[in-house]
């Protein structure tokens, strides 16, 4: 982050809330550890993704350490004024209202909002008081949303939360209502319980939450193609659909492609090389993208390639990329 850009960046003209008032289902790239970084966000924006999240960042570390800020949050500041890495939501893990508000103030000039992670089920996160354990602390969530609202002066700056659901859905509705009363911009609902991983998503629960809220609600969980995204919108009434693994497998999902087109793979190569994406990340994204379009034999060859030049040679020989 570079504060020299702050004055110009504040003229960015499209608040993310405008997306929810546009009349169409908002298509959102989820926060993904290691994966939803600048280069990948740049790719999915080329294929009809409306809104992107950063990977989850621990707010306390972000506030304390310049090194953490420089390594965890990367955006393209100059292009953000026009058609670059915006609209952008920075997701934080936090357990203290003031720390979250301080982190929000730091990213405010460079992003369009922050999201409080109340859904991560990983043991380390919950042991630290982060993530999904917060769904059982509605007053704390309410306080954190309110504190950001009070401290960040920009009225267009979004404050959202991403949650999982309770067995007793009245508790989830109560949590959402408290967040709404504190000024939350929208609520993303991953329709699974904390202990669930690959079980079917409870879309009926998302529908109930949507019916009880006046702020926008985003549905999250098991979207593999645009048709499913549209069906989930119809089933739940959600204002937006957030996708994680489906976009890793097919970054062109929101543009209606059933599998990753070769043009998208070419775009990823160009973008990743331009951004200096580390090889492991560059290669992993390609493995995800090519999963559905390569044979087992091709996977065995491609997945063990160990250098950018080897990958480029392979793509050139096999796909003329």
Chain segment 211-239, per-residue pLDDT in tens: 999 999 999 999 999 999 999 999 999 99
Task: State whether the Cα torsion 52-22-220-145 is positive or negative.
Answer: positive
Report the DSSP beta bridge partners of residue 217: 187
Final residue belonging to a domain, choices 253, 281, 310: 253
pLDDT of 6 strictly over 90? no
For residue 241, the domain's CATH number is 3.20.20.70
Q: How would residue 68 be classed by pLDDT, with cut points 50, 70 and 90?
A: confident
Do 294 and 241 have their domain in common?
Answer: no
Q: Which position among 120, 133, 176, 264 bears the catalytic label?
A: 120
Lowest-pLDDT choice from 77-91, 156-170, 280-294: 77-91
Which pLDDT belongs to residue 208?
98
Distances 227 to 50, 142, 248, 258 between C-alpha atoms, Å? 17, 35, 17, 9
Going by the DSSP 8-state scheme, the letter that residue 201 receives in this structure is P
Lowest-pLDDT choice from 73-77, 248-252, 272-276: 73-77
Do 197 and 136 have their domain in common?
Answer: yes
Final residue belonging to a domain, choices 209, 231, 253: 253
Which pLDDT belongs to residue 3?
38
pLDDT of 2 strictly over 60? no
Better-scored residue on pLDDT, 25 or 74: 25
Do 125 and 226 have their domain in common?
Answer: yes
Do 266 and 142 have their domain in common?
Answer: no
Burial (CB count <10 Å: 0-12, 13-18, 19+), residue 160? buried
Of 160, 159, 162, the closest CA to residue 132 belongs to 162
**Residue in this structure with the two tokens 């850009």, named with its chain if needed:** 5
Element (H, E) at 219: strand 217-220
Q: How would residue 14 be classed by pLDDT, with cut points 50, 70 and 90?
A: low
Do 249 and 281 have their domain in common?
Answer: no
Residues with Cβ within 8 Å of 67's Cβ and at least 6 positions away in sequence, in order, are none
Do 84 and 200 have their domain in common?
Answer: yes
Give the burial string for 228-258 (b: 16+ CB within 10 Å, else e): ebeebbeebebbbbbbbebbbbbbbbbbebe
> Residue range 61-77: average pLDDT?
86
Which pLDDT belongs to residue 75?
82
Q: Give me the torsion for CA of 87, 93, 99, 101, rounded to 10°.
A: 30
Final residue belonging to a domain, choices 253, 279, 310: 253
264 is catalytic: no
Question: What is the pTM (predicted TM-score) of this model?
Answer: 0.93
Do 194 and 267 have their domain in common?
Answer: no
Interval 267-317: pLDDT, tens: 999 999 999 999 999 999 999 999 999 999 999 999 999 999 999 999 999
Whole-number Å distance between alpha carbons of 33 and 25: 25
Do 274 and 230 have their domain in common?
Answer: no
Q: How would residue 7 be classed by pLDDT, with cut points 50, 70 and 90?
A: very low
Domain limits for position 98: 3-253
pLDDT of 95 strictly over 70? yes
What's the mean per-residue pLDDT of the chain? 92
Do 282 and 181 have their domain in common?
Answer: no
Do 308 and 201 have their domain in common?
Answer: no
The tokens of 298 are what?
A: 């091709």
Number of neighbours of residue 317 by Cβ within 10 angstroms: 9
Interval 111-126: pLDDT, tens: 999 999 999 999 999 9
Of 176, 236, 175, 241, the closest CA to residue 207 belongs to 236
How many domains does the chain fold into? 2
Which pLDDT belongs to residue 271?
97
pLDDT of 79 strictly over 50? no
pLDDT of 245 strictly over 50? yes
Do 32 and 161 have their domain in common?
Answer: yes
Q: How would residue 253 be classed by pLDDT, with cut points 50, 70 and 90?
A: very high
Q: How would residue 243 be classed by pLDDT, with cut points 50, 70 and 90?
A: very high
Lowest-pLDDT choice from 68-72, 95-99, 147-151, 243-247: 68-72
Do 313 and 185 have their domain in common?
Answer: no
Q: How would residue 257 be classed by pLDDT, with cut points 50, 70 and 90?
A: very high
Distances 192 to 169, 172, 196, 198, 202 between C-alpha atoms, Å? 11, 12, 6, 9, 6
The tokens of 184 are what?
A: 């939350």
Pinpoint the alpha helices (H) of the chain: 6-9, 17-20, 38-45, 59-64, 66-72, 97-107, 123-127, 138-151, 169-182, 203-211, 226-236, 245-249, 262-275, 279-290, 296-302, 308-319
The tokens of 161 are what?
A: 């939360």
The tokens of 311 are what?
A: 């990958």
How far is C-alpha 246 from the chain's CA centre?
12
């Amino acid at each position: 982050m570079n504060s020299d850009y702050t004055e110009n960046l504040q003229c960015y003209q499209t608040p993310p809330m405008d997306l929810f008032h546009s009349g169409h289902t908002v298509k959102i790239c989820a926060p993904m550890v290691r994966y939803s970084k600048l280069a990948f966000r740049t790719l999915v924006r080329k294929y009809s993704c409306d809104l992107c999240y950063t990977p989850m960042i621990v707010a306390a570390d972000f506030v304390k350490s310049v090194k953490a800020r420089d390594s965890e949050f990367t955006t393209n500041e100059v292009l953000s004024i026009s058609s670059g890495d915006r609209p952008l939501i920075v997701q934080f893990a936090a357990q203290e209202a003031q720390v979250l508000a301080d982190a929000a103030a730091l990213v405010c000039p460079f992003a369009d909002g922050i999201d409080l992670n109340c859904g991560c089920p990983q043991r380390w996160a919950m042991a630290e008081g982060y993530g999904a354990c917060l769904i059982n602390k509605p007053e704390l969530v309410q306080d954190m949303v309110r504190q950001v609202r009070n401290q960040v002066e920009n009225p267009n700056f979004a404050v959202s939360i991403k949650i999982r659901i309770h067995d007793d859905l009245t508790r989830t509705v109560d949590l959402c209502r408290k967040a709404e009363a504190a000024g939350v911009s929208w609520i993303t609902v991953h329709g699974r319980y904390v202990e669930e991983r690959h079980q079917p998503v409870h879309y009926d629960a998302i529908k109930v939450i949507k019916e009880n809220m006046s702020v926008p609600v985003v549905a999250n969980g098991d979207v593999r193609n645009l048709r499913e995204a549209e069906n989930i919108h119809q089933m739940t009434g959600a204002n937006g659909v957030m996708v994680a693994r489906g976009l890793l497998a097919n970054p062109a999902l929101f543009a209606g492609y059933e599998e990753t087109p070769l043009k998208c793979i070419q775009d990823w190569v160009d973008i990743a090389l331009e951004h200096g994406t580390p090889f492991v990340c560059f290669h992993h994204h390609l493995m995800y993208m090519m999963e559905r379009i390569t044979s087992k034999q091709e996977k065995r060859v491609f997945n063990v390639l160990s250098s950018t030049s080897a990958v480029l040679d392979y793509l050139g020989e096999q796909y003329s990329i």
